[in-house]
Structure 1
Amino acid sequence: MQRRRLFLLALVAIAVATFFLSGAHEFLTLANLQAEQADFQAWFAEQPWRVGGGFFVLYVLMAAFSLPGAALMTLLSGALFGLGWGLMIVSFASSLGATLAFLIARTLAQAPLERRFAGQLERINAGIRREGAFYLFTLRLIPLFPFFVINLVMGLTRLPVRTFYWVSQLGMLPGTLVYVNAGRELGQLESLSGILSPSLIASFVLIGLFPWLARGLVALLKRRRLAARYARPRGFDYDIVVIGAGSAGLVASYIAAAVKARVALVERDKMGGDCLNTGCVPSKALIRAARLAQEVRQAPRFGIEAGEPRVDFTAVMAHVHDAIRRVEPHDSPERYRGLGVEVIQGEARLTTPWEVSVGPRTLTTRHVIIASGARPRLPMLPGLETIEPLTSDNLWQLESLPERLVVLGGGPIGCELGQSFARLGSRVSLVQRRPQLLPREDEDVTEVLAGQLREEGVSLHLGWRAVAIEAGPSHGDAGKVLVIERDGDQGPERQRLVFDRLLVATGREARVEGLGLEALGIETRADGTLAVDETLRSLLPNVWACGDVAGPYQLTHASAHQAWHATVNALFGEVKRFRVKYRNLPAVTFCDPEVARVGLNERQARHEGIAYEVTRYDFSELDRAIADGQTRGFIKVLTVPGRDRILGASIVGHGAGELLGEFTLAMTQGIGLNKLLGTIHPYPTFSEAAKASAGAWKNAHKPERLLAGLRRYFAWRRRGRGEGVASSPGASRGVSRR
């Protein structure tokens, strides 16, 4: 087997080398072959089987060895053989050549690549198992990748050879027909004026329209496949039914109603979702109270004696719930009904792609948008079942401040809540499996936050993993113990952390159960989120998803960004669909100091192999930060080497989330640091840090040759030359020489 694989690999290499060394790639141009067209057609008339067969064999070899020129050969077949013979030759030759390329890839690379990329290939195989031949048919009809790429990739899957051949034969036929016809029109040109002939123009217009037409055909075929499985209603009650009234669902409903679509919004619990009730609003209210307690402690730095603050935790939680109540009307059923949305309370379940049952009622709809959100993920931790762990969902029902709090998880939620409880008076220990907080951020950024947390008394256990929960250390101790472990030089090391309450902040998982998705064939990814494409469409062409249930970012503004795309694509996707882009998506962790980022950081740039330059500006150099005593932190901007193009910005420091907006705007609108430097900022403000960062970049890119020339110019001017007056000492005193 190994010898056969090496022989085939050598054969492929020899064929490719022969193709280029012989100059065939230079001969196969339209100008060269058109000059020989008359002779070729006479030859074909005399010996049709030999000439046609030779062209057939040449095309098969080019396709089999993935050589360039297949598209040109398809055009040439129409010019040389005409539409009928050209279509027949190329249709069968391309399918046979593609199948040979498929077999070559399978023979040479399937086994080693399956071992290395088992997970990725399994997802492709799952798609083939789910859609069968239709999966390949859509790629053939609408080639998202060049055909030779499809041949090679499919060779690494479990797709049967026979299926690959007949689907390729059928799927490539429409495109082959369009190109052969265009080649036939080109072959009939006798002068440049013929380029303007209606038939030739129509042929090339058809080439341009073909992907759009093919996409419409695929959509139609998908709808027909669905109709074959489910009874499609003759009419619909709604244009869109949105499942879930969190940030994504609210935005989707608002947009649909704004364009006068009929929309129903189904929510099983509270309007506003996690953001209003258990996430953004309550956590920021808690953070504000905790920050005020810390400011009281720090008052002596400014000459004000206030003493240790007395924290009334019941009043703090009352402030948190008051914030929820004051924001609640923005997300209320009354407001959305006033906007034209029908708000329905109850559990939603898809029975068909067009029918959603809510209790005894069935809603028929052209499209469904799933925005069911996410919930805290609980780890598989022995002993966890013996306690009632705190999460970001149930934390807000606490009635007393925990004396000893252990936080499991060092992401944004764990850091924000851990610091807040420490500032309110809890003894907090934070356990993080990875060696740094906020693993997605750069290490120098998180070091600033870690230093602040340690100063405030938070005990950080970075690089430790939770092993088990055990009973407390003594009979009289009501607390429990979290056993943690890490790998040391002498073997595993263990510690025991006593706690009164355990806050689990180890991530969130999508809410997908109970929606009837499995019965409809809508799959989830490895992380539990719904499998949707770049336009947020699921396998079913009229079922969409946005927000936390779709991932990959569990942020309120990311949910709103996705909701716009899902709604617009659902309502107007027949005309134009928009892909979701996340490059300029900002993210903020609301600790003190705040951590904010937009675009790439150094960790991501290195991972993606993107070259970058770093410009850094420390808040210790900013006048307003010095006056306010907020000098901890910095701004770090990544730019394209030698160019004024921002790749990303990371900020750690006071008000980092507010400062991030200027960099987000700059990246979104294509504004460089030169323009930021040229923008007037009020003094003294923290916003000046953005301008100062731009100034640091400019200083590192100053034109040294020009400055050296200016230095010589001004030295020449100082010597009095070129001033239009005498250069003697007396001239400067108004004394003329005679």
Structure 2
Amino acid sequence: MAHRRLLLLLVLAAIVAVYFLSGADEALTLANLQAEQARFQAWLADEPVTVVGGFFLLYVLMAALSLPGAAVMTVLGGALFGLGWGLLIISFASTLGATLAALIARTLARAPLEKRFAGQLERINAGIRREGAFYLFTLRLIPLFPFFVINLVMGLTRMRLWTFYWVSQLGMLPGTAVYVNAGRELGNLQSLSDVLSPGLIGSFVMIGLFPWLARGLVAIAKRRRLARRFRRPTRFDYDILVIGGGSAGLVASYIAAAVKARVALVERDRLGGDCLNTGCVPSKALIRASRVAEEIRRANRYGIDTGEPRIDFGAVMAHVQRAIREVEPHDSRERYEGLGVEVFAGEARLQDPWRVRVTSGAGERVLTARHVIIASGARPKVPPLPGLERIDVLTSDNLWQLEMLPERLVVLGGGPIGCELGQSFARLGSHVSLVEMGPQLLPREDSDAAELLRHCMEKEGVSLWLDTRAVRVIEEVDAEGGHVLEVESHQASGEVEVHRLPFDRLLVAVGRQANVAGMGLEALGVETREDGTLAVDESLQSVLPNVWACGDVAGPFQLTHASAHQAWHATVNALFGEFKRFRVSYRALPAVTYTEPEVARVGLSEREARARGIDFEVTRYELAELDRAIAEGQTEGFVKVLTVPDRDRILGASVVGQGAGELLAEFTLAMTHGIGLNKLLGTVHPYPSWSEAAKATAGIWKNAHKPERLLSWLERYFAWRRGGGSAAAATEEMRRKDA
């Protein structure tokens, strides 16, 4: 197959070379064609089949090979054949040539590109399957758009060639008609710019506006198709109905209410969702308490002798609950009702795309809304581990009801939740064993960040079992009244060793799964992805045009700030999508694991860049060089920035160390607004501060890209000045230095 592709490429290159070397590109000018118009007309009268056939084949060849001159050929076709026959001939010739161009691109490049960029192309192809025909149609309607680019790009997708053909045939027809019509007045035209006469400008304006009209017509058609399946209400109770009162749902409700839309929010449990009640807030309160305990243990390095801290676990958990209560008013029913949101407690189920049945202890009621936003969140995933059903398993949901510190805690999962909670419990006095199936902690991060965290956690007494698979919970109770987890550990030699890990409590932290059941989505045809999240497009719209999703239920990131980011897009697109759609971007989405050291990243990691085949440079700065880190005795960690080779454009940044999440904000700001390392270097930072690490990293990058030739000339200039202006003295000084 590779040999055939190479042969085809050589043949195409030869044809293109002949085209340009023969001067055909220079011959296809309006002046030349005007001069030869009379001869063409006489030839057409004598041999119509030859002229029409030759013109048709030449046009097909030019379009297939993306050669310049198609616009002139279209105008010429109108001059030669008139509007009717010219439109007929050129319409079919241009479409056939475009389809051949797509086929050539597909044959030459699709297979290697799909192999290299499988993930990205799969997302594109998913969009093509949903609305590829309409998208191609709108692109074809604009005659000034470079059609050859459309041909090549669409050829790389999985769009069927027949679909590509007929959509192109229809979509290019209006633009072709404009140019063919202009060709009828070829004798009066002095340049192609004359095509834009007042009448034709109006035509182009209408053609430019037609995609928006077509999009509106398609939206109407979708709504009518829905209306045929379901009875659409004649009026609505609400503009937006949000299902789920977690981070995403609250932000969506807030935004909709802020623009004076009428909003209903349905929550079956507690407002605030996981973040407030079982996630971000309680976990950070627990992390802070455990960090204080560890600081007390290490106080002697600052000359302060305190001894081993005494942990009152009940008081620690009281601190956690107090933090939840103090944040709770920010997410309370009273606050959101004060903002204009109508809050309903109960289970929500979609009867159809516009009607939601809310069931509560007070009964049932049906609410109608023009748009529904699903923000139902996710819950901890519990694996089908034999024996697990016989014990009381801990998850990030029920962990906060613990009253006694587990003496022996086994944590399943080495992701952010497992690492944060495992380290915290170890610092509070538990004997923690952490089991991770992969070869490193934090599988999404680079190995250098994971290795530093591994070293710190092991130094604090956490027993790490990497490359280890949990097999089963053994029924027997060990000598101390606990249970036993059997695991298989994969050794570097390839051998598998079986171990038994005793525990009093088992914490499962192997990921989360979207809450999609029980809302009637499946019956309405709303699809889910392989990972269980709802299938939505880049604007967060589902297959139903008025049903949207955001937050954990939509994926791919289960982060509170990602949920808020998505909620803005889902709400704005729902309310104003008829006028403007916003595609959600995760390019500058930060993520932080709140262990010690913290692990923070925005943009690409080295691992991701290599997997995507993206070239990059790495600039690294060790926190051991930072004066503030030295003064505080917190020198473990680094800053690592990925940039485009030889360009001041940040692709990603990783920070590992004290306060990494705070330091990351500077790089997130830079990526969001297109600021490079030069601008960070030119920004004054307070001394001594942790933020100076960002400036120091930028300084290392700048030093690696300094203008060597200019500096060499400056060195000679200063040597010349030191020598009293004598060139000979400067040259002699440089010679001595080189020697």
Same fold (TM over 0.5): yes
Q: Is residue 436 of structure 2 the alignment partner of residue 432 of structure 1?
A: yes
CA contact (8 A) 1:473 1:481 kept: no
For 1:406-555, list aligned pairs within 5 A.
406-472=410-476, 474=478, 477-486=481-490, 489=493, 491-555=495-559
Residues in 1 aligned to 2:565 and 2:103: alpha-carbon distance in whole angstroms:
43
Distance change (3 Å), C-alpha of 1:84 and 1:631: same
SS of residue matched to 2:455: helix
1:701 lines up with 2:700 in the alignment: no
Matches within 5 A, 1:286-325: 286-325=286-325
Residue 191 of structure 1 is matched in structure 2 by 190
| Preserved contact between residue 593 and residue 632 of structure 1 (Cα < 8 Å) | yes
**Distance (whole Å) between structure 1 residues aligned to residue 118 and residue 680 of structure 2:** 47
Distance 1:267 1:113 in 2: 45
Instruction: Please give the alpha-carbon distance, in whole angstroms, between the structure 1 residues aligned to 2:401 and 2:722.
Output: 76
Q: Deviations over 1:108-138 (max 9, x none)?
A: 999999999999999999989x97xx76455
Matched, 1:180 2:177: yes
Q: Distance in 2 between matches of 1:90 and 1:227?
A: 40
- Are residues 1:372 and 2:388 paired? no
CA separation in 2, counterparts of 1:152 and 1:720? 66
Partner of 2:353: 353
Output the amino acid matched with 1:182.
Y
Distance 2:157 2:723 in 1: 74
Letter of the 2:579 counterpart:
V
In 2, the alpha carbon distance for the partners of 1:631 and 1:213 equals: 60
Structure 2 distance, partners of 1:552, 1:96, is 40
Matching residue within 388, 391, 396 for 2:392? 388
Conservation of the 8 A alpha-carbon contact between 2:109 and 2:156: no
**Equivalents in 2 of 1:59, 1:417: separation in Å?**
67
- 2:683 aligns with one of 644, 663, 679: 679
Aligned AA for 2:426? A
Which of 540, 545, 560 is 2:564 aligned to?
560
TM-score (norm 2): 0.87
Distance 1:236 1:83, change over 3 A: farther
- Aligned pair in 2 of structure 1 residues 454, 262: CA closer, same or farther (>3 Å)? same
Go from structure 1 to structure 2 and tell me whether the alpha carbon gap of 1:704 and 1:309 turns closer, same or farther (over 3 Å shift): same
Superposed displacement of residue 650, structure 1: 0.7
Residue pair 1:66, 1:148 contacting (<8 A) in 2 also: no
Letter in 2 for 1:668: T
- Mapped to 1, the partners of 2:282 and 2:263 lie a distance apart of 29
Contact 1:266–1:347 (CA under 8 A) maintained in structure 2: yes
Give matches, 1:586-625, under 5 Å. Answer: 586-625=590-629
Matching of residue 668 in structure 1 with residue 672 in structure 2:
yes
Gaps of 5+ in 2: 141-146, 727-739
Paired amino acid for 1:371? A
Secondary structure of 1:352's match?
coil
TM-score of the pair, normalised by structure 1? 0.87
Residues in 1 aligned to 2:652 and 2:478: alpha-carbon distance in whole angstroms: 52
| Alpha-carbon displacement from aligned partner over 1:264-307 (angstroms, at most 9, x marks no partner) | 11111111111111110010000000001111111111111211
- Partner amino acid for 2:348? A
Cα RMSD between the aligned structures? Answer: 3.5
Contact 1:83 1:181 in 2 (8 A): no
Cα separation, 2, equivalents of 1:204 and 1:638: 44
- The 3-state SS of whatever aligns with 1:276 is helix
Residue pair 1:140, 1:172 contacting (<8 A) in 2 also? no
Change (3 A) 1:388 1:187: farther
User: How far did 1:484 drift?
Assistant: 2.7
Q: Does structure 1 residue 363 correspond to structure 2 residue 363?
A: no
Change (3 A) 1:483 1:81: same
For 1:329, the equivalent position in structure 2 comes to 329
Aligned equivalents of 2:692, 2:651: Cα separation in 1: 20
Partner Cα separation in structure 1 for residue 123 and residue 679 of structure 2: 45
Q: Which residue of 1 aligns with 2:729?
A: none
* Distance in 2 between residues matched to 1:365 and 1:521, nearest whole Å: 18
**Could you tell me which residue of structure 2 aligns to residue 728 of structure 1?**
none
Please report how far the alpha carbon of residue 465 of structure 1 lies from its aligned counterpart in structure 2 after TM superposition.
1.7
Which position in structure 1 is the counterpart of 2:633? Answer: 629
Distance 1:709 1:136, change over 3 A: closer
After TM superposition, the structure 1 stretch with the greater mean CA deviation from structure 2, 421-430 or 135-144, is: 135-144
Q: Which amino acid aligns with 1:84?
A: G
Q: Render the CA deviation track for 1:55-103: whole Å, top value 9, x for unaligned.
A: 445555667x675569646565445434322333344455666778899
Structure 1 residues 572 and 289, CA gap change in structure 2 (3 angstroms)? same
Most deviating of 21-30 and 342-351: 21-30
Aligned twin of 2:732:
none
1:180 is aligned with what amino acid?
A
Q: 2:449 is aligned with what amino acid?
A: V
Q: How does 1:142-153 map to 2 (within 5 A)?
A: 142=139, 146-147=150-151, 149-150=153-154, 153=157
Q: Give how far 1:47 is off.
A: 4.8
2:250 matched residue in structure 1:
250
Distance 2:450 2:348 in 1: 42
SS in 2 for 1:617: strand
- 1:389–1:504 Cα contact (<8 Å) kept: yes
Letter of the 2:190 counterpart = S
In structure 1, distance between residues paired with 2:722 and 2:9? 73
Which range is displaced more, 290-299 or 105-114?
A: 105-114
Describe the SS at the equivalent of 2:220.
helix
- Deviates further, 501-510 or 694-703: 694-703
Distance of 1:649 and 1:109 partners within structure 2: 32
| Identical aligned residues as a percent | 67
Contact 1:378–1:504 under 8 Å retained in 2: yes
**Residue 261 of structure 1 aligns with which residue?**
261
Structure 1 segment 710-721 matched on structure 2, within 5 A: 710-720=714-724
Letter in 1 for 2:287: I
Return the alpha-carbon distance in structure 1 between the equivalents of residues 237 and 247 of structure 2. 24
Which stretch shows the higher mean deviation, 282-291 or 491-500?
491-500
User: 2:5 & 2:112 partners in 1: Cα distance?
Assistant: 16
Return the alpha-carbon distance in structure 2 between the equivalents of residues 553 and 146 of structure 1: 32
Moved more, 595-604 or 44-53: 44-53
Is this contact kept in 1: 2:9–2:108, CA < 8 A? no
The Cα shift of 1:206 comes to 3.7
SS of structure 2 residue aligned to 1:468 = strand
Q: Answer whether contact 2:378 2:513 (CA < 8 A) is retained.
A: yes
Q: State yes or no: 1:204 paired with 2:204.
A: yes
Check whether the contact 1:75–1:179 (CA below 8 A) recurs between aligned residues. no
Matched, 1:647 2:622: no
Contact 2:600–2:661 at 8 Å: present in 1 too? Answer: yes
Range with greater deviation from structure 2 (33-42 or 665-674): 33-42
Can you list the C-alpha shifts for 1:404-448, whole angstroms capped at 9, x where unaligned?
111111111111001000001111111111111111111111211
Q: Deviations over 1:126-161 (max 9, x none)?
A: 989x97xx7645544556982465467457x6xxx9
What secondary structure is seen at the aligned counterpart in 2 of 1:146?
helix
Q: Equivalent residue of 1:676, what SS?
A: helix
Aligned residues: 708
User: 1:685-715 CA deviation, whole Å, 9 max, x = no partner?
Assistant: 2122222222222233333333333334434
Instruction: Tell me the equivalent position of 2:25.
Output: 26
Q: Residue 221 of structure 1 corresponds to which residue in structure 2?
A: 221
Query: Structure 2 CA distance, aligned partners of 1:423 and 1:685?
Result: 27
Deviates more, 1:278-287 or 1:637-646: 637-646
Cα deviation code 1:658-687 (max 9, x no counterpart):
111111112222222222222222222212
